[in-house]
Structure formats: structure tokens, C-alpha cells
Amino acid sequence: MDKHQPHNASDVSSAFPVDTIRAMFPALQQAGDFIFMDNAAGAQIPQSVLDAVTNHLVAHNVQRGGR
């Protein structure tokens, strides 16, 4: 067995911080226990990306007359 592979299913859940990752995505706070992160309808965005985009649009997105 590869030394990087967990030995059993309980090792997988303890090795991957599901709750930590889930907490980064605001939309997942409203989701049930079973969700898909990727689908044809769109993608989830972590809070840090939402904050950065909002900051850009509110504070830095300005037209400078073509300069």
C-alpha cells in the first residue's frame, strides 16, 4: 500500500478537514449533508473570494478616462 494512502475509511475522514472546508463556503451553510461542489449550474465560491471581489467592486472599480 502507498504510504500516502489512508489504511481505512476513518483515516480518510480524519485526514480531510471537511468541516473547515465547508465553513469557507457561505452557500454550504444552508446546504444539507450531501452536496456536489461542481455541476453544470455553477460553482461555489469561498468567502475569501467573495470578500476580495466585493472589495474590488466597491472600492477600486473605477473608470479613469482610458488612462
Q: Percent of the chain, pLDDT > 70?
A: 63
CA distance 47 to 16: 19
Total-model pTM = 0.51
* φ and ψ of 38, to 5 deg: -135, 130
pLDDT exceeds cutoff 70 at 35: no
CA 7 to CA 9: how far, in whole Å?
Answer: 7
In sequence order, the β-bridge partners of residue 38 are 43
Q: Which helix (H) or strand (E) holds 26?
A: none
State the cell numbers at 24: 469557507
Mean pLDDT of 28-52: 77
- Write down the pLDDT at residue 51: 95
